[in-house]
Structures are given as C-alpha cells and as structure tokens.
Chain A
Amino acid sequence: MIEGFWFPAGSAKKIVAALSVSEGRFKVIVKHDEYMEGQFDELIVSSRVGNIPRKIQLPDQSVFETTDNEAVDRLLQLSSAIVKRRGWAHILETRWSWIGVSLLAVLLFVFAGFRWGLPWASVSVAESIPEPIVQQLSQGSLSLLDDIMFKPSEISESEQKKIAQRIQNRLAHLDGSNFPIHFRKMGLPNAIALPSGDIVLTDRLVNIASDEELLSVVLHEISHVKQKHGLQQLVRSSVLSFAIALVVGDSSGVEELLVGLPVFLMQSQYSRSHESEADEYALEQMMAMDVDPIHFARIMEKMEGATQQAGAQGNEDHNESDTSVTRQKKLTDYISTHPVSAERIRKAETLSDTFNRRRVLSN
C-alpha cells in the first residue's frame, strides 16, 4: 500500500488516497473508498528525477501522487520490462560509479577541447573564412580602432607615400601590394596588422625607426597576417565565450566575468606563441633579404625604451620610487602578451652574429 494524494482530472482538488498493486492489478483507494482498479500496465508512471513526487496517471486522466519513490520503484521492479526501462537515467544519476565516470569524462572532454579541439577549430575556421568577410571584418576593426585608439597621422601625406613605397619596394618579392601600409597617431610606437593584410604604423614608431627597422616590424606583422593569427584569435574567443555561456547558463551579472577571464587568459597565452612565430618569420625573411637581423633587436629596444620612458614620466611626476616601477614591470612580464622582450632581442642578436659571420666568410 502506497500512501499519497489523488487529483481528479481537470480540477485542482487534492484528496488523500492510497494505491495498492498485486498480481499485475492496481487498486486506488480515495478517502477509504475504492475509486478504481485495473491492469497495472495501464498506469503511466512518471520517470524518477531526484526525489520529486512521483505522478501516476490513471486511465481516466486523474493522477495519483506520492512522495514514496522507493515503493514505486519496487513496484516497477516487479512489473513488465517495458515499464522497468523507464528509470535508467535515474539509475545513472544515483550510482556513484556512473557519476564518477561522467565527471571524469566531462573533465577530460573539457580538457581535450581546450588543448586540441579549440586550436584545431580556430585554425581550420580561420582558414575557411571567405575573403569578402575578412575584408569586412578588417575594415570594421580599423574604423573601431580609429574611433577609440587612433588619431589621424601627423606625417604629411607625401611623406607617408614615400615611406610606404620604400617598404613596399623591398617587399616586392612577397607582393608588397597585398600589404597596404597606413599611418595613424597613437601615444606609443606600435604596429598593428589586420587580417586583410592592412598594416598600421604609428607616428612614434615611424619617427624612431630607421628604414631597416621599419621593414623588420612590417615583416613581423606580415607573418601575423599570413598565419591568420588575428582571425584565429577571433574564432577562439567567440567559441570560448559561447561554450562557457552554454555551461554557466543564464548569467546573473557577476557570472559574466567568468566568461571574460578565461578567454582573456587563453588569448594571452596563445598570443605569446604567435609573437615568437612572427619574430621567427621576420628574422628569417631579413636573412633572406640580406638585412642584418640586428635591426629587429634595435627597434625592439627602442620600442621598449619608449614604453618605459612613458611609464617613468608618469611616475616621476608623483615622486614615486624606482622600486614601484620594477615591481610593476615584473608583474607585467608575468601576464604580458609579448614574450619577454629581452629574450626576443637576444634571439635577434644571436641570428645577427651568424648573419655577420656568414657575410665575412662569403667576402
């Protein structure tokens, strides 16, 4: 005998009732009176979820409800196989071995997704984005950058043309016209490549760099374009945000950071490897073009010097001690998107040694 309540079809009444089953037949007793009996197989028993009350629908659409889940499960054990099968999800959800397996499998899946799935997907999607869309995306990001970060260049247009022409002449073998060069003003010496191949140089970079140095920076940026690093990052952050939003579900304000943080951390890790890749390409090309790789080291030093100078200026104004600058620099390195500059400079210098030795030999 299972105790519970009976709900008549189509009304909100709730009446104390009991259900008994024997030899394949059921009997429902409502308020001490027998209400209905019939074949047990005619009952539709809701599948078990946790410990929520079980609903047993009678043939006349009325419902018997009970919280005695164990008793209902025992009844189902005795009945036909078809009815028994209904509870398999609940069985998985209550056996620790299955929960352990599920947890492990999900963790493994998430790990594999991050480790192999995501890089693979971002590379292959980035490869397959059609040219018009790449163009559109790039134009969009350039105008966004124009709005928030750049100001129009202060270098005269004729000068701009001359500089661009000088660089592109040396890139002729790479088809330099595929990499239009733009000039913008920004507080720091910097260069940015858009997926379309457009390369932006800032005024301060142009001012501190020699032609060779500018060439090395442009080569570095061209590598980003050729390897489609920008597109890969875009795809990766979209997929990541989407996946995290899926798992975390309806976010409530604070949880939104949860989407941002891992995306940010993943991106900075990836961009480090992208930077070394681009460095390698630039240095290789310089060697091939008979340009001393030392120029890359020089411009790196200059750019870092300019950035630090900017930082020092800000601190001097407030009479801050040098220690805060160094402490802060360490922190920056920790999470920096570029591999520690000294390392990059050293690489260029080593290659420069090889380059010069080879030149001496060939002479």
Chain B
Amino acid sequence: MRLDTNIDQLPETRWEKLEFHGKGLEYFKIWIVNIFLSVITVGIYSAWAKVRSKRYFYGNTVLHGAVFEYHAKPLGILKGRVIAVIFLAIAIGLGILHPLAGPISSIVIAIVTPWVIWRSIIFNARMTSYRNVRFGFMGKGLTLYYILLVIPLLFASAGATLGWVIGFLGRSIDLFGLRGINQINAAIIGGILGVYLSFPYIHKNLTSYFLNHRLFGQGRFRARLHGSFYYWSYLKWFILLSVITAVCWSIVFLANTLVGNNLSFLRAGGTRDAALAALPPMVLVLALIPFLLGFSWLKAYITTLFRNYGYGRLQLQSAATFKSQMDHNRLFSIQFTNFLLLVITLGIAWPWTRIRLVRYRIETLSARIYGDVEGYLSQMQNKQSALGEELGEAFDINLDLGI
C-alpha cells in the first residue's frame, strides 16, 4: 500500500491527543431528567433521552479542535424500538403458546442477529459526523454471516473430522495407544475443540470487518490485523485465567483455614455437598471478592490488549494514523473505584462513573494527521435512513470487540 511506505517521510506529522470535555455534574443533570421523563412517559421519551445522552458524549469529544456529532432522530429510534418490542412480544407469545417455538425462535434469533448487528453498525456510523462530514460503513451483511455462522461450523467440522480420523486410526492400528477410544466421542471432542479454536479467528475477522469497511466521507479506514496476535492474546488470557483462578482459590482456602469455617470440609474428607450446603451465604459473598477482583482485572487486561492493537493498526487512507495508549491497571482501577462509588451511592453516582470511564477511553487515544483531512469530501448521503438501520439500533447489540 502506498501510504504504508511514506508516513514517516511526510513533513507535517504530529500526534494529537483526543480530548474529552464532559463533566460529571453536567451529565448527572441530563441523566436524571432523562430518567424522570422516560419514566413518566412510560419509556417513550427514552428515544429522546438516548439521543441527548449520545449528543452529549459525542459533542464533548474533541479532536484537533473540532467535536464529533451524533445525528440520529429520536422519532426514528422510537419507531425501531416499537417494532423491536412487537417482535419480541410475538416471539415470547409464541413461546408460551407452543413448546416447539423455543427451539425455532433460537434458530430465528441465530439467523436474525448478524443482520441486526450489521444494520446497527451502519446506523451508528452514518449517524456520526466530524467536521460536518459523515462516517459510513460499506461492509456487506453476508460477510457477517460468514464470520459468525460459517467459520465456527468450518472449524467444528474440521475438528470433528480430525477427531474421527484419530479415533479410527487409534482403533484400527492402535496408533498413540488409543485402542479403547470411541470414534463418535473423539469426533465430538474434536468438534468442540474446533469451535473453541475458532474464537480468536472470529474475533480477528470481526474486528477487521468492523474497522476496514468504515468510511470517513469518501476516505476509507484500513486496519491490517494478524491472526497470530489474536491467538497469542487468547493463549495469554487462558494462562492468566488459570493462574488467577488458582490464586483466588488459594486465597479463599487460606482465609478459610485462618477463620476456621466450613470450607475446611473440603480437606477434612467431608463431602463437597456437605461443605457447600453448610456454607453460610455471607461467606460465599466474601469468597467471591478475590474472584471478582481477579476476573475484572483480567477483563481490563484483555480489553486493553485488543483496543491498543486495533487502534494501533488503524489508518485513514492517506490522511491519518491512530494509536491507543491504554494501561490495563489504570483501566482496572477506574472500573473498580467506579464500582465502589456505585455501591456506596446506590447507583446515583452512575453519571460520574460513566464520564470518568469515557474520559479515560478517549484521552488515551491519539491521531497523527499527516494528510489533507480538510480535503475530505462527504460521500453522497442517503437522505432517509432505512428502517432496518434503526431496528438495528433498537436491539442495541454492541459488538464487544474491545475496541
């Protein structure tokens, strides 16, 4: 690619940090009025609330002296939500009337979900602008079906076939000393392993899909992602998960021995059931704390990893590159103190916690603008947005890519 080669030779390159100007108290006022009006209008105002809230966050995000803007119209969102509610009511109603509706609606949901995600990505992109130029998304819906449905199936069948073959060889020629193996079981285990192994690949493909088809006006975003990074990250995640789980159990065990409570059964030869049943609920809650801390830290760690990588690879065609310098410990400490704030204030502090988190997310991003951003022309806008886009928004399915 042309721009890959000569970024560094360009004369006017500067890293510019994104800024976030939102304030806790200011957002609190908007938030509480939003909830109040949503409640007294039986939820109808929630569409307006959503738009005001999004406009507040977009309008306070500053890059290079200009803010982002959110353009969605509340009525459109309301329309989408009404249709979504009707759709869900029908699904639930059918489920009550007919027992077979359960499995059928699961299949319908599996088929509809990629479409909804796709429309939602398009909607959110088109409703965003920067310097009066709209973003866009030109990814195909079919691609998403391929990523979400076909890839796992391919991995599963490859795994199952491999399992079957190993089972077959093990039985017939006593390969790997697997004479006693059941072919069917081997195939099932292979299939399940295949699905697990497909996760990093699916994650990579989704992120790539999400970033690569994004438009700013007529300019296209590019991000070259490597599958190896995702496999490596998932391996790290798995190792850390095992370590954290082990450490947490040891802490609970140690604390338990010191306090001398019922869990010591586990070692005293009592049955597991007896130990669990005799365990007072309070102790269970206390025992959860190390796990909670450990797993939240891990989530912050892995989110940071993917976010920094994704933004680090992102470029806007011959105009800008990006980077994210998030630190997982800082993210974790923000999330943890936010959680404490929420507990202490019974949820009233929510707007402040939100502002803190979003500020950190945004202010760790920077962009290096080296090309002629000003020259970017808006693409031809489709004036009316299709209903499907708003429907996508109504279900509010967010791809949690850590981006």
Interface residues of A (CB under 8 A from B): 5, 7-14, 49-53, 55, 62-63, 89, 92-94, 98-99, 101-103, 105-106, 109, 130, 132-133, 136, 149, 151, 186-188, 190, 247-250, 252-255, 257-258, 261, 264, 268, 307, 310-311, 313-315, 317-318, 320-321, 324, 328, 331-332, 334-337
Contacts and interface: CB of A to CB of B under 8 A. Distances in A.
B273 A188 contact: yes
B335 A253 contact: yes
A7 B48 contact: no
B373 interface: yes
Contacts of B280: 328, 331-332, 335-336
B296 interface: yes
Given A89-B33, A188-B278, A314-B268, A254 B335 contact: yes
16 contacts: A9-B378, A11-B376, A51-B26, A52-B67, A106-B35, A252-B296, A254-B336, A258-B342, A258-B347, A264-B281, A313-B268, A314-B268, A314-B275, A315-B261, A315-B264, A328-B262
A151 B273 CA distance: 10
Contacts of A317: 264, 267-268
B172 interface: no
A109 to B, nearest CB: 5
A99 B377 CA distance: 42
B261 A328 contact: yes
Contact of A318 (B55, B66, B67, B257): B257
A254 B338 contact: yes
Contact of B132 (A9, A248, A320): A9
> Which 3 pairs, one residue from A and one from B, show the smallest C-beta to C-beta distance?
A52-B59, A187-B274, A102-B36
Contacts of A247: 35, 347, 350
Contacts of A336: 280-281
Contact of B264 (A133, A318, A331, A332): A318
B335 A49 contact: no
Given A12-B376, A106-B39, A331-B280, A253 B296 contact: yes
B378 A10 contact: yes
Given A52-B58, A328-B280, 18 more contacts: A8-B132, A11-B375, A12-B133, A13-B374, A14-B374, A151-B273, A186-B277, A187-B271, A187-B272, A249-B354, A254-B292, A254-B296, A258-B342, A264-B285, A307-B278, A314-B275, A317-B267, A328-B259
Contact of B59 (A53, A94, A149, A313): A53
Contact of B374 (A12, A53, A93, A310): A12
A39 B58 CA distance: 30
Nearest to A55: B69
B59 to A, nearest CB: 3
A131 to B, nearest CB: 11
Given A55-B69, A190-B277, A332-B282, A50 B30 contact: yes
Q: Which has the most chain B C-beta neighbours within 10 Å: A190, A250, A268?
A: A250
B52 A49 contact: yes
B374 to A, nearest CB: 5
A94 B29 contact: yes
A10 B39 CA distance: 39
Contacts of B37: 89, 92, 102
A93 to B, nearest CB: 5
B313 interface: no
Q: Is the interface of B mostly helix, strand, loop or mixed?
A: helix
B11 interface: no
B282 A335 contact: yes
A11 B335 contact: no
Interface residues of B, number: 78
A253 B274 contact: no
Nearest to B23: A50
Nearest to A149: B273
A52 B68 CA distance: 10
A132 B374 contact: no
A231 B113 CA distance: 30
A62 B273 contact: no
Contacts of A103: 32, 36
Nearest to B99: A132
Contacts of A320: 260
A7 B131 contact: yes
B217 interface: yes
A310 B36 contact: no
Interface string B20-38: 0111001101101101110
A331 B59 CA distance: 51
Contact of A102 (B32, B99, B299, B343): B32
A311 B130 CA distance: 65
Contacts of B65: 14
Interface string B265-304: 1011011111111101111010010001001100110000
Given A50-B60, A250-B398, A324 B260 contact: yes
B23 to A, nearest CB: 8
Q: Which has the most chain B C-beta neighbours within 10 Å: A52, A151, A188, A250?
A: A52
B188 to A, nearest CB: 18
Interface string B233-245: 0000000000000
Given A12-B217, A14-B131, A253-B300, A187 B33 contact: no
A324 B39 CA distance: 49
Contacts of A321: 260
Q: Which has the most chain A C-beta neighbours within 10 Å: B278, B336, B375?
A: B278
B335 A311 contact: no
B209 interface: no
B48 A50 contact: no
Contacts of B272: 187
Q: Which has the most chain B C-beta neighbours within 10 Å: A99, A187, A248, A320?
A: A187
B56 interface: yes
Interface string B129-172: 01111000000000000000000000000000000000000000
A311 B278 contact: yes
Nearest to A187: B274
A117 B69 CA distance: 39
Contacts of B259: 324, 328
